[in-house]
Structure 1
Amino acid sequence: MASREQLKMVAQNCSQYRPKGASMVSSTSAIDDKNKSCVNCEHFTEDNKCDINLVDEILSNMDVKLD
């Protein structure tokens, strides 16, 4: 499983990142880049997995190893 820091790096580099509840939030109060993380993404499930399986792919493209 990816660490918290890795999940932040993935979210920063993910073209499919969608903040949870973004449709109900104005653009000025949306999650800013420093708080962007997979855990805040609509694709991140309750069992801590990306439902479109992008975490490992993005980490490998970034040359980051999972612990």
Structure 2
Amino acid sequence: MSLFREKLEKCARENESRVVLALDLSLPAGEKDFKRKLLRRARWVLSEVIENVVGVKLNFQLLLPLGLFDG
């Protein structure tokens, strides 16, 4: 078992709670391919933790730059 997974499980046990990931990612807006890099980073983080969390909270800092409110 990975050290990360062990820490998550220990935290969940000690707090008698499950883990919800707050996906609060950002990149400098002027960076080349900003949206693509931000989305790729978010997907990578999710792929790394998906088996260890029960939920994910997305914030406006991530949603707005990706244009998810533009339709």
**Fold similarity call, TM over 0.5:** no
Which is richer in helix? Answer: 2
TM superposition score category, shorter chain reference? under 0.3
TM-score, length basis structure 2:
0.27
